[in-house]
Amino acid sequence: MQNNFIYLDNNATTPLDPRVLEEMMPYLTDMFGNASSSHRMGKQLNAIVEKGRRQMADLIDANEEDIFFTAGATEAINMALQGFPRIAGRTMHIITVQTEHPAVLDTCGYLESTGVEVTYLPVDGDGLINFDKLRAAFKSNTALVSVMHVNNETGVIQDIERIAEIAHGYGALFMSDGTQSVGKLAVEASSFIDILTFSAHKFYGPKGIGGVYFNPRLIMKPLIYGGGHEGGARSGTLNVPGIVGMGKAAELAALQMSQDKERIGKLRDTLEQQLLTIEGAKLNGSQEQRIYTTSNIRFDGVNNEAVLLGLKDICVSNGSACHSFVMEPSHVLQAMGLTKDEANNSIRFSLGRFNTEEEIKQTVEAVKQIITRLRAMAF
For residues 157 and 181, state if they share a domain.
yes
362 and 221 assigned to the same domain: no
Tell me: do 339 and 198 sit in the same domain.
Answer: no
pLDDT value for 323: 52
Same domain, 244 and 305: no
The contacts of residue 140 (CB under 8 Å, 6+ apart) are none
Question: Mean pLDDT, 10 residues at a time, over the chain (379 residues)?
Answer: 85 98 97 92 94 98 96 96 83 97 97 96 98 98 97 98 98 97 96 97 98 92 86 87 98 97 98 97 96 97 94 88 66 97 97 98 97 85
* C-alpha count within 13 angstroms, C-beta hemisphere, residue 120: 15
Q: Which domain holds residue 29?
A: 18-252
pLDDT at residue 377, rounded to an integer: 84
Residues 313, 333, single domain; the answer is yes
Is residue 375 assigned to a domain? no
Please indicate whether residue 315 is annotated as part of the active site: no
What CATH number does the domain containing 222 carry?
Answer: 3.40.640.10
What does the pLDDT read at residue 376?
Answer: 86
Does 78 fall in a domain?
Answer: yes
Reported as a single tens digit per residue, the pLDDT across 97-112 is 999 999 999 999 999 9
- Helix (H) or strand (E) run with residue 259 in it: helix 240-275
Sequence-separated (6 or more) residues with CB below 8 Å from residue 78: 103, 107, 223
Q: Which of 223, 252, 281 is the last residue in one of the domains? A: 252
30 and 145 in a single domain? The answer is yes
| pLDDT tens figures, 135-150 | 999 999 999 999 999 9
CATH of the domain at 263: 3.90.1150.10
379 found inside a domain: no
Please give the pLDDT value at position 229: 86
End residue of a domain, out of 196, 221, 252? 252
Residues 223 and 267 in one domain: no
219 and 343 in a single domain? The answer is no
- In contact, 317 and 12? CB cutoff 8 Å: yes
pLDDT in tens, 32-71: 999 889 999 999 999 999 999 999 999 999 999 999 999 9
Q: Which of 231, 252, 273 is the last residue of a domain?
A: 252
In a domain, residue 373? The reply is: no
Please tell me whether residues 178 and 287 are part of one structural domain.
no
Q: Is the same domain home to 92 and 196? A: yes
Residues 6+ apart with CB under 8 A from 73: 103, 177, 179, 197, 198, 199, 202, 210
Is the residue at 303 inside a domain?
A: yes
Same domain? 216 vs 332: no
- Are 101 and 248 found together in one domain? yes
The DSSP H or E segment spanning 377 is helix 357-377
| Closest to 248 measured CA to CA, from 284, 215, 209 | 209
CA 223 remoteness from chain centre: 21
Identified catalytic residue from 31, 223, 224, 322: 322
Confirm whether 37 is domain-assigned.
yes
CA dist., res. 242 & res. 74, Å (int): 16
Burial class (CB in 10 A: 0-12, 13-18, 19+), 26: middle
Domains identified in the chain, total number: 2
